[in-house]
Structure 1
Amino acid sequence: MTLYLGITFLLIPLIAPIFGREKLKDSSYIEAHTFFTKLLNRNYIKAELHISLQEIAASYQKQHHGIKIVYLDANFPFVNGFPLFPHLSHNDGKKIDISFVYLDQNDRLTNRKPSISGYGVFEKPTNKEYDQTKACKKNGYWQYDYSQYLTFGTINKNLKFSEKATKDLLLAIVNHQQIGKVFIEPHLKNRLRVENSKIRFQGCQTVRHDDHIHLQLK
């Protein structure tokens, strides 16, 4: 364990730039949702994405002071194409998952999230919204909502999804010049009323995106 921790926190951050990636460090603007993301070396990105995230986060805090960009999974530090289970595309340093923003029991914005992993607690479509999950599973894509089993436990059960703050975050992301694609579930795109060509449907072959925002460089 000592050897692993030494390699993870001392050696790998020095070697990763050779492969075109760098460690995403916590700051007053950005933080990992869970320590295990860092412990498992899932917090590495290209320098260009690091700069973009810092600019997005700084801009966002001008609107919502003290609310950070809380990231989930990014990429491993080495080798393009090496898979980051269970993701299909987090393998080149250009992708990262960002958590939604929530309100606490007093309707104040908080950096806390509703699950230990950050995944698996969905903002489901209402009866009047299009249900992409139902459509995908009807067509045989059984895995589309399996991230519900990857929460590692639900916490902060009194949190509520903040449409306003999450919309502002989504706008800050899509309006950044270096961001090429954003994945979020269709019913949330429509609910938040954000129209931008960068926002795409990720396809039924992956998993649902109504528990986080996926973004990637051009």
Structure 2
Amino acid sequence: MAKVLYWGGHGLAVLLLTLLTFVGGIAWAAALFGTHIHFLFRFTLAYLALSLALLWLPHLLFQNNVVSVPRISNSVQSSQFLKTPAVYRLMNRDFVTPELHSVARDLADHMARHFPATPRTVTYALDGNFPFFDWLPLLPHLSHNDGKALDLALYWQDSNGAYVAGPGKSPLGYWGYVDSPSDCPPRAFDLRWDLNWLQPRLPDLQLDVARTREALIWLSQDRRVHKTLIEPHILAQIGYDHPKIRFQGCAAARHDDHIHIQL
């Protein structure tokens, strides 16, 4: 029984780490072999080695069909105004196609030019995709599996109306919502987590209407962008609408903490 629990626990860890980080399961399994070094140290070494390999392996195998935001190969131009929180790079969740990276880069450069005051506007990319597209879904997302989907943080300001550079209320960019009641009926289970216990513990920031509006206008006019997903109450707040900007539906996660763009 003890062996069943032992290997069952490790199997669960492999499964969860694979779903969360792509290479974490392999690193955990590799760390099970060897006894001369502490297990967590072996796991960390294996994880870092595999993550470093992902910087060049997908690029080598797929010939420029995958890039990392903002860990960009020399063949893809980057932007100083496009950033990604370190957690998404560490979890290997920041890979997109070169075309989608170009969209994010161009948006970031446009926003920095359109709002030139100090500090310059920075666009934050959140979850993209795992490096090998069409192989493993990026949970809990429903459509981040082909390199053509990327989440962008909203733009925020403080109580005095001053722009605040950062991914949002939360360091992750997610889960710090623009406060508004939902039109979706309650369900026994869905991805629309309110996280009411967390909201009072987050910084008191408000939606930067001007910047968010400008970003959505730019995205709706860019021919490369197929659709943009966001909560309807944000569109009502900024006073803008477009056929390419859509509601993601009541079954998906809330989109009033980020913008989803898709080629």
Normalised-by-shorter TM-score class: 0.7 to 0.9
After superposition, the C-alpha distances for 1:44-95 in whole angstroms (9 at most, x for unaligned) are 0001101111111111111123111111111000131521111111010000
Q: Secondary structure at the match of 2:169?
A: coil
Q: Offset of 1:177 from its aligned partner?
A: 1.4
Tell me if the contact between 1:43 and 1:76 (Cα under 8 Å) persists in the aligned partners: yes
Q: Which has the higher contact order (CA 8 A, sep 6+)?
A: 1
Could you tell me which amino acid in structure 1 is paired with residue 221 of structure 2?
N
Q: SS where residue 136 of structure 1 aligns? A: coil
Write out per-residue CA displacement over residues 6-46 of structure 1, whole angstroms, 9 at most, x where no aligned residue: 3213x1121122343111116411001x2110000000000
Give the match for residue 5 of structure 1: 48
- Name the SS of the counterpart of 1:204 in structure 2: coil
**% identical aligned pairs:** 28
Aligned counterpart, 1:192: 238
Within 5 Å, give how 1:1-218 maps onto structure 2: 1-9=44-52, 11-17=53-59, 18-19=61-62, 20-25=65-70, 27-32=79-84, 34-65=85-116, 66-112=120-166, 113-125=168-180, 131=181, 133-137=182-186, 140=187, 142-146=189-193, 148=195, 154-155=201-202, 157-217=203-263
Q: Which amino acid aligns with 1:67?
A: T
* In structure 2, distance between residues paired with 1:188 and 1:57: 20
**Aligned partners of 2:231, 2:111: CA distance in 1, in Å?**
22
Aligned residues: 206
8 Å Cα contact 1:117-1:150 kept in structure 2 = no
Residue ranges of structure 2 left out of the alignment (5+ in a row): 1-43, 72-78
Contact 1:120 / 1:150 at 8 angstroms: preserved in 2? no
Show structure 1 runs of 5+ residues with no match.
Answer: 126-130
**In 2, are the aligned partners of 1:101 and 1:166 still within 8 Å (CA)?**
yes
Distance in 2 separating the partners of 1:163 and 1:180: 23
Match of 1:128? none
Q: Output the TM-score relative to the length of structure 2.
A: 0.71
- Bigger strand share: 1
Q: Which letter maps to 1:161?
A: L
Quick one: structure 1 residues 7 and 81, their matched pair in 2 at CA, closer, same or farther if it must change by over 3 Å? closer
Check the 8 A contact 1:119/1:148 in 2, yes or no: no
